[in-house]
Structures are given as C-alpha cells and as structure tokens.
A and B are shown apart, each in its own frame.
Chain A
Amino acid sequence: NAGVTQTPKFQVLKTGQSMTLQCAQDMNHEYMSWYRQDPGMGLRLIHYSVGAGITDQGEVPNGYNVSRSTTEDFPLRLLSAAPSQTSVYFCASSSQGFGTEAFFGQGTRLTVV
C-alpha cells in the first residue's frame, strides 16, 4: 500500500515552461487536493476534487490547472511557470465524509528560474 505518491520529487523550470506534477493514491479516496507550502505561509489550498470529473478552486488557484479523470490520479499543471510559483507542492487525499484524515504525498520541490 503506497498511499499518496507524488512525482517528481524535485524539479527546476525556466520561466514560461510548462509541466505537470503527478499525484496518485491507491486508497480509493474520493477527495484529493493540492497545496503549496511557502515559508511563513503555511499550506495554501490550490485546487481540490471531491471525485472523478469534479474539481474546484482553493485559495490560490491562479496559474494552475487540474483535472480528475480517475479516482486515483489528480495531476497539477503549470501552463507557464513563473518565479512566484517556486514552492513545495503537496498532494493530499482523504476518504469522503465528515472529519477524515488527509494523507499527504512526500512533496515536490519546484524551483522556477
């Protein structure tokens, strides 16, 4: 049981490049989300999904796209990377319902130069 798996662990992009951060979970969780973590800012919600085919915006969605074609996968796309998107990105999943634990992936450290 791998839990929540993120790839890659590290990535360096040039300004304007695009890339997709991958997130997969094998716990059959309905709910998945993406956060970015910046010093002093905590974990800020980018996008989230309550099930396949359903996505919604979080606190800081600009510059990011998501899709949820399967229960297992929830990729995060940066269409045109900017230095302000330099951050550590965490994917999380939880079973649907009231008050359930969120399980996090190991994180992706992204640097945009």
Chain B
Amino acid sequence: GENVEQHPSTLSVQEGDSAVIKCTYSDSASNYFPWYKQELGKRPQLIIDIRSNVGEKKDQRIAVTLNKTAKHFSLHITETQPEDSAVYFCAASITMDSSYKLIFGSGTRLLVRP
C-alpha cells in the first residue's frame, strides 16, 4: 500500500530564513501531492498542491517541487514569518478507477523564531 514518509519531524528557523520539508512516497501510481497546514487546535487546511505532470509550483512565498523518478516532493517556504509556525503535512493520493485514497505523512512542526 501507499506509504508517505516526512522529514524532519520538527524544524526551527529564524524569521526571514527559508524552511524546507521533504516527503517520499512509495507507490509510483501516486498522482496528486497536496500540502496542508494545521495551526494549533485547528483543522488542516490546504496551502498548495502539485500534480504528477508538473515538476514545480509556486504561490507567493511557498513552493512545492516534485521528483517523480526519485518519488519525493518538497515544500519550500521563503522569508518565513512567525505566523508560518504550525504543523505541516504532506500527502499523496492514488486515483484508481472510481476510487481515491489520500495518505498523509507524519507531519513537521515548524517554529519560526522572531
């Protein structure tokens, strides 16, 4: 079955620095890779996603890259701000016939120090 590994589990950066979170997936049939942000006590919310036919996607200070050959994808946050502090989850999904399954990584707790 699909397995998603995420690293690091915790990440502390100085405000203004960049943060990178990496994920690997096991099933080569995975075709959609979203990233979710979860603030303390809140529900996860989508921040960016990428599909398997795209290598990179950027939205203001956040970007995601995908390497299908190596089966890994990464989240890049530039010019980090204290409000970026949260838990970030990567996920990978497989669409098979009429079925769709979304599997998450174990999460990265990002702390941005002012």
Contact = CB atoms under 8 A, between A and B. Distances in A.
Interface string A73-92: 00000000000000000101
B interface SS class: strand
A58 B101 contact: yes
Interface residues of B, number: 27
Contacts of B6: 42
A40 B46 CA distance: 20
A25 interface: no
A42 B89 contact: yes
Contacts of A31: 100
Contacts, number: 66
B66 to A, nearest CB: 12
A47 B93 CA distance: 15
B25 interface: no
Interface of A: 31, 33, 35, 40-45, 48, 50-51, 56, 58-59, 90, 92, 94, 96-99, 101-102, 104-107
Interface of B: 1, 6, 9, 31-32, 34, 42-46, 49, 51, 89, 91, 93, 95, 98-107
